[in-house]
Amino acid sequence: MVLLKVTCIIRIFLLLAFTSLTLSATASSSTIVCTIKPACLLVNAIVGKQMKTTQLLPDNIDLHHYSFRPSDLRKLSQTAIVVYVSPTLEQFITPLLNPNTQTIITLADSPTLTFLPMPKKHQHSHHERHERHEKHMEHVKHKRGHNITTSQDPHFWLNPNNAIKIAQYLTVELIKIDPTHAPFYQKNSQKLIEDIKKTDQNIRQLLRNDQHEPYLMFHVSFQYFAKHYGLETPEIINLYEDLPLGIKSMHHLRQLIKTTEIRCLVSQPTASEALTKVLTEGTSINITLLDPVGSTLPVTHNHYTDLLYNIAHRLHDCLTTYKQISQ
C-alpha cells in the first residue's frame, strides 16, 4: 500500500512537472529553438537581439542515426517557437512537436523553393529507411502541408536563391509572432538578402573557371551548391555506418582516381578518415573538408554568407591545386 502511494505521488509529480514545462513553453516566446546550425544562422540574422536563438542538436552529428538526449527533450519542451529544416531531414523531431502549444516554422515550407532529387544510387541505398518513414511523412505532409518529399534532397539551404526565399518566409512568420518589431525584422531581412546576393556574385566569379573540373564527394549534401554554380555533377560516395563501402566499390573508386583527371575529393566531418586514406593513398588527388552546416561558425548575423564563402574557397583550392604523387 505504501509503495502504491509513493508510486502515485511520483506520477503526479511528473505530470505536474510536465504541465509546468508546457505552460512555460507557451509563455516563453522570446526564445527560438533551431534544430541545426544553418537554421540558426538564418533566423539569427533576422531576429538579432530581439529574440534568443538556441541550437538544439550538436554540430557534426549524423542526422540519420541521432537519438535525442534528455537535455534535447527538455530544451524542446521549454520553447514556444521551433524552427527546423524539413521533416525528411530531422525525421526524429516531427513526433515530438506540438502545433497546439508551439509555433513550428519549417524552412522547407518556404514558397517556391528549388528542390533537387536525391541521386538514384542514394535513393536505392536508403530505400528501406525512407520506406519506414513514408507512411508517417504522408501523414505529416497532409497535416501541415509540407512541400518536400522523401525523394528530394533536404540540403536546400546551400542554394543561395533558396536561402533568400527562406529569409523572406522567416520574416513573414516572425512578424506574425512579434508584430511589434516588424520594421526591425524587415530591415535585417533585407540586409541579409543583399549580403547573400553580393556573396553569390563573388562566388560565381571565383568558381567561373572550375565548372568542368571533375571531383568526388562523400555525400549528396553539396549538390545544391554545385548545381547553382554550374559545377560538374560529382561522383557520389555513400558513406553511412549501416551501408559500408564494399570492396568492389572501393576498387572502382581507386581506379577512377588513378585513371581520370579527378583532382579533388570532398570529405566532410562525419566521413571516415581511415576510408579516405585507403581511397587516396598513392594518388595525387587533393582532399578538402567541406562542412554543409557550418559547424565551426558562431551564430551571428553574417555567418550564413561565411558558410557559403568557406565552401567556395575550399572547393576552388581543391579543384585548382596540382599535387605530386608521394612516393
Residue 81 and residue 149 in one domain: yes
Residue 214 and residue 277 in one domain: yes
Q: Do the domain assignments include residue 157?
A: yes
Q: Do the domain assignments include residue 2?
A: no
68-82 confidence digits (pLDDT tens): 888 888 888 889 999
Considering the entire predicted model, what is its pTM?
Answer: 0.82
Residue 34 and residue 158 in one domain: yes
- Domain total for the chain? 2
| 107-to-113, 128, 198 alpha-carbon distances in Å | 10, 25, 22
Residue 79 and residue 139 in one domain: yes
173-212 confidence digits (pLDDT tens): 999 999 999 999 999 999 999 999 999 999 999 999 999 9
Q: Do the domain assignments include residue 168?
A: yes
Q: Which domain holds residue 291?
A: 210-320
Residue 195 and residue 214 in one domain: no
CB 259 within 8 A of CB 240: no
- Burial of 43 by CB count in 10 Å (0-12 exposed, 13-18 middle, 19+ buried)? buried
Decide which of 241 and 213 is more confident.
213
Return the axis-axis angle of helices 160-177 and 37-47, rounded to nearest 10°. 60
Residue 147 and residue 272 in one domain: no
Q: Do the domain assignments include residue 325?
A: no
13-58 confidence digits (pLDDT tens): 343 344 344 434 343 468 999 999 999 999 999 999 999 999 999 8
